[in-house]
Structure 1
């Protein structure tokens, strides 16, 4: 290989390296814009649950999904929560929520707010589910703190509203 050919090969490699570096910088900038946008959306996806007779509301941070977007459209809601399976408080919603794009199922964990599509009810888990994975269970969000009232067997009246 002569000197000219060698220079062309080195120039080609350097040009390729420069293009790849530029693409990675552009990709990182685009990712930051997307992350900032989705983080901004998540900040507006909070709800408050006020238990009748309690002075301390519960905050829930929701994920961004078609099911949670549909749920938010129905707020504010006043519901009666009933104990179910000694691990969750449930309440039937006035109408079913969208399940578009939702996973087929989920295993409820302590602190989760979920939607059980087959029955059309919300489920607030105060213990991990004994059943484990349940078809039709859709994760909506996470309670910031678990209220002691949930572990009692009594029914609870709650007001659920969006935090704006």
Structure 2
């Protein structure tokens, strides 16, 4: 599924994968979120409701540009730098945006985004 992430007024196209969690995330769109920094490699925000973790792979290593769901906290993470590997199935990659679009996440402590269906 194609989505559009508007970051401080600039639209960026991204793609969600075909996982149960990504489909559940897409069903919540459009979303307007205020993301805050976490571990100096990702921005996070709470989602309105939990996502499905059905079929989630174990052991994910998030990369720059990944959109992910951290199940224990119920939040969205957008990685602007590569992340540490996850051992269990608590981190689920939902999709990806171009690495070149992650600069605003690295440059600001908080970033406002709107995420919507772009199909």
Give the TM-score taking structure 2 as reference length.
0.91
User: Would the alpha carbon gap of residues 74 and 59 (structure 1) be closer, same or farther in structure 2, given more than 3 Å must change?
Assistant: same
Q: Which has the higher contact order (CA 8 A, sep 6+)?
A: 2
Structure 1 segments unaligned to the other structure (5+ residues): 1-44
Shift of 1:132: 2.3
Kindly report which structure 2 residues correspond to 1:2-151, keeping only aligned pairs within 5 A, or say none: 45-52=1-8, 54=9, 56-129=10-83, 131-135=84-88, 136-144=90-98, 145-151=100-106
Deviation beyond 6 Å, 4+ runs, structure 1:
none
> Whose Rg is larger?
1
Unmatched segments (≥5 aa) in structure 2 = none
Q: Distance in 2 between matches of 1:99 and 1:58?
A: 26
CA offset at residue 134 of structure 1? Answer: 4.5
TM norm structure 1: 0.67
Equivalences, count: 117
Larger strand percent: 2
8 Å Cα contact 2:65-2:102 kept in structure 1: no
The structure richer in helix per residue is 1
Q: Deviations over 1:102-139 (max 9, x none)?
A: 1134111111111111110111011011x323430001
Answer yes or no: is 1:155 the counterpart of 2:113: no
